[in-house]
Amino acid sequence: MRNLLKFFRIFMLVLFVAGASLSFGANPSVPQKDGKQYAEVISGNNALIAPSDRANPKIYGGPEVEAIKTWGIDSPNSYGFGEIFTLLQGHYFSVIFGILIVLVPLAFLGHFMVIGQKKFNHGKKIRVFSSYNIFVHWCAAIPFVALCLTGLVMVFGDKLGGGGFVRFARDVHGIATIVFAIFGVLMFLMWFKSALPRAYDIDWLMIMGGYLSKEKKPIPAGKFNAGQKMWFWVCTLGGFAMVISGAFMFFQFSDINTLRMMALAHNFIGFLIVALLITHIYMAVFAIEGALHSIIDGHMGEEEIAILHSYYYKEINAA
């Protein structure tokens, strides 16, 4: 009952925050030009306004943006991260994201075909996740997946035809950020102790978690193995870094060079997040038969724990 009340309170908070941001997003007073929204216009940074009168005089206006599009190495008028940002943003980021979303799934397809699924006896089951764990996992995971999908829509925005669809993805990206920011913190608090590094994690890494062999030998891992721990830190701390760099891009409350740094960080951490999310889904859905059930009904087969989480199994038996 107390858990139910807790869930209800969190839900009401999320509904309130999402409602408030939706009404903000639909604000008809946001200036539009040729169907596009101009951040410079919104914050008084229109190029028609003299730099000294702009809300943020260090952010460029329309004509400067046109000139920047031709920047390369050693461009005139550029300073700070101007050139490197223009080069990476204009030519490389979308290519790297494209390579990642093709190559990572292909590598796992190869693993699935060569090594195949690990199968365990589904006889006796042990409860490993509480209802609260499951609830928080999905409330953080759903907006997080939405962030990655809508982020990719923005990255490939021009190839997808731009316009309303990409602007909609951008709005969803913003709203999903608020939901993730709340549940990401709850996820961090609930699992960080189990994700602290231990000496046996090195052994796990040395044998690549046993995923390259078909043998069923006990693997050195606690409640979470080293790979899962890595995912935990990337999706929580990396996720918070994405919230912060995203907030800089949304509110534009810094000078242009800091903005570029934030956009660069958003993309670099984005690579890691997209690659590891695909890995996480592969491990949960395909690599181990029935593994997904643990995060749906909280139970895991005893044999799977004894083999894949051997130190955790010893802990449970000792308790």
Binding site for ligand HEM (CB under 6 A): 97, 137, 140-141, 144-145, 147-148, 151-152, 154-155, 170, 173-174, 177, 180, 191, 224, 228, 231-232, 235, 239, 242-243, 246-247, 249-250, 266, 270, 273-274, 277, 280-281, 284-285, 291-292, 294-295
**Cβ proximity to ligand HEM, 54 vs 174, nearer residue:** 174
User: For the chain, what's the residue count?
Assistant: 319
Question: By the 8 A CB rule, do 135 and 5 touch?
Answer: no
**Cβ proximity to ligand HEM, 71 vs 224, nearer residue:** 224
**Cβ proximity to ligand HEM, 53 vs 124, nearer residue:** 124
For residues 96, 152, 145, 261, the Cα torsion angle rounded to the nearest 10 degrees is 70
Q: Strand pairing partners for 301?
A: 125
As to burial, measured by CB atoms within 10 angstroms (0-12 exposed, 13-18 middle, 19+ buried), residue 136 is buried
**Cβ proximity to ligand HEM, 53 vs 138, nearer residue:** 138
Cβ of residue 212: shortest distance to ligand HEM, in angstroms?
A: 18
**Cβ proximity to ligand HEM, 23 vs 52, nearer residue:** 23
Contacting residues for 50 by C-beta, under 8 A, at least 6 apart = none
Give the separation between CA 45 and CA 37, rounded to whole angstroms.
Answer: 13
**Cβ proximity to ligand HEM, 54 vs 291, nearer residue:** 291
Cβ of residue 50: shortest distance to ligand HEM, in angstroms?
A: 26
Cβ of residue 181: shortest distance to ligand HEM, in angstroms?
A: 7
Cβ of residue 183: shortest distance to ligand HEM, in angstroms?
A: 8
**Cβ proximity to ligand HEM, 53 vs 197, nearer residue:** 197
Cβ of residue 267: shortest distance to ligand HEM, in angstroms?
A: 7
Cβ of residue 196: shortest distance to ligand HEM, in angstroms?
A: 13
**Cβ proximity to ligand HEM, 54 vs 307, nearer residue:** 307
As to burial, measured by CB atoms within 10 angstroms (0-12 exposed, 13-18 middle, 19+ buried), residue 264 is middle
Cβ of residue 151: shortest distance to ligand HEM, in angstroms?
A: 2
Question: By the 8 A CB rule, do 295 and 134 touch?
Answer: yes
Cβ of residue 74: shortest distance to ligand HEM, in angstroms?
A: 26
**Cβ proximity to ligand HEM, 60 vs 144, nearer residue:** 144
Cβ of residue 25: shortest distance to ligand HEM, in angstroms?
A: 9
